[in-house]
Amino acid sequence: MDRSAVRIPEGRRLLPSLLARLLGRADDGAAVPAPRRPNPDAVVDCAVYSAGRREPGRPHYADAYARARRHRRSFVWLGLHEPGPAVMAAVGRTFGLDELTVAQALADGHRPTVQRHGEVTLLVLRTASYVEHAELTDTSEVIDTGDVMVFLGDRFVITVRHGAAGALAPVRADIQARPGVLAEGPWAVGYAVCARMVDLYLEVAEHLEKDLERVEESVFARDRSADIQHIYQLKREVVEFKRAVLPLQAPLRTLLEQRGDGPPPALHRWFVDVEGRLTRAVDRIGSYDDLLNSILQSRLAQLAVEQNNDMRKIAAWAAIAAVQTAVAGIYGMNFAHMPELGWRYGYPGALALMATAALVLHRLFRRSGWL
């Protein structure tokens, strides 16, 4: 039989090829590239930077870290948003983070701080954003806060963000446009994140200033439409904002005073600039807090005066009613010998006396400002 005439089914011919690809070999024995691994959903972005430039692609964070370790002046920036325990544990194993560091990354609501975990520096910052609202009420949310944690290693930087506020996409775009700064390594990202947070603080402070102006105008207007519950709600929001901003001063000062483990000398002046802008934000927030205290005290004083005026009005009307009660009470005693009991016009005369007394007292009280 002619073997060339035997026809092999198409499926049987494809089977060896598929087995070869599964084993990492082509039909001719050449190596087949391994399929690209996708990043978890919690990964916002992952990139390798070499000499201040971003390398093309968005590789898996493990592959990116391996690539960064093979080249000098390279590091990987991994951005995470609210990662789960499984994802954060895998990231910790890849980058050599200890269990405490991984546990801290999973929690939110941290106070701004700088910590050293072996060869890794942890920088915690609070995020803030202004919530637009048509009018201030007793339940208005004016400021939305969250936090971002920055893990700085020798060849990597990991940012873990909690909450909707403080997205880091603008930070990445801005720092990538400045290769001279980005060439300083992971600490350049740390500087960019700090600068972005402080810029957000100043932006929120500007919006708060407009809210304070509106509240102040309503408190000292003629109609005095400001409700004290609205003022207190704004006070609570300012206090929350204050708790997010003021504690950052100490960590920034610690970074500037560190030698060896802190930012490189080339970035020192940039961190000094961030500290100066943070001081300006802190001063503005402190003045807003003091102004709100003054507005709150003024409104309380106004309420006390308004209550005093109400009490005077009540007392004036009570005095007017007391005259009518006195006249009616006297003539209701039903004694046999009382003046004008037998007078024909006694009843109209008593009514006229009561009306005249009420009119005279009303004019006196109006003149004195009680009515």
CATH number for 332? 1.20.58
Q: Which range has highest mean pLDDT (26-30, 218-222, 228-232, 291-295)? A: 291-295
Please check whether residues 1 and 134 belong to one and the same domain: no
Residue 347 token pair = 């009843």
pLDDT of residue 10: 42
Residues 210 and 346 in one domain: no
- Put simply, whether the predicted model's pTM sits higher than 0.75 gets the answer no
Range 260-278 average pLDDT: 88
Residues 335 and 267 in one domain: no
Residues 175, 271, single domain; the answer is yes
Regarding whether 73 and 139 lie in a shared domain, the answer is yes
- Which residue reads 């990662």 in tokens? 83
Q: Give the C-alpha separation, 157 to 72, whole Å.
A: 15
Residues 6+ apart with CB under 8 A from 40: 83, 87, 90
Q: Which of 116-125, 208-217, 276-285 has the lowest mean pLDDT?
A: 208-217
Which 3 state secondary structure label does DSSP give 127? strand
Please tell me which residue, 136 or 47, carries the higher pLDDT value.
47
Residue whose structure tokens are 């970035």? 267
- Residue 78 vs residues 92, 98, 124, 200: alpha-carbon distances, Å: 12, 17, 16, 22
Residue 181 and residue 91 share a domain: yes
Kindly state whether residues 64 and 133 are assigned to the same domain. Answer: yes
Quote the pLDDT of residue 307.
Answer: 75
Domain end position, chosen among 258, 281, 304 = 304
Which has more pLDDT, 224 or 115?
115
Does 196 score more than 50 pLDDT?
A: yes
Collect all residues with Cβ–Cβ distance below 8 Å to 138 and sequence separation of at least 6: 227, 229, 230, 232, 233
Q: Assign 22 to helix, strand or coil.
A: helix
State the chain's mean pLDDT as an integer.
81
User: Same structural domain for residues 311 and 336?
Assistant: yes
- DSSP symbol at 139: T
Residue 337's pLDDT is 67
Q: Is residue 333 domain-shared with residue 237, that is, in the same domain?
A: no
Residue count (the chain): 371
Which one has a higher pLDDT value, 84 or 133? 84
Structure tokens at 143: 């400021």
Gap between the Cα atoms of 317 and 364, Å rounded: 12
Confidence of residue 199 (pLDDT cuts 50, 70, 90): very high
Counted domains in the chain? 3
pLDDT at 158 over 90: yes
Quick one: pLDDT at residue 167? 81
Do 264 and 289 have their domain in common? yes
What does the block give as tokens for 69? 């370790």
**365 band by pLDDT with thresholds 50, 70 and 90:** confident
State yes or no: pLDDT of 345 exceeds 90. Answer: no
320-329 average pLDDT score: 82
293 and 276 in a common domain: yes
List the CATH number of the domain containing 71: 3.30.460.20
Query: Does position 24 have pLDDT exceeding 70, yes or no?
Result: no
Residue-level pLDDT at 95: 92
CA distance linking residue 46 with residue 147, whole number of Å: 20
175 and 285 assigned to the same domain = yes
Contacts of residue 129, Cβ cutoff 8 Å, sequence gap at least 6: 143, 144, 145, 164, 165, 166, 200, 204
Residue 281 confidence (pLDDT) above 70: yes
Which range marks the domain in which residue 28 is found?
1-34
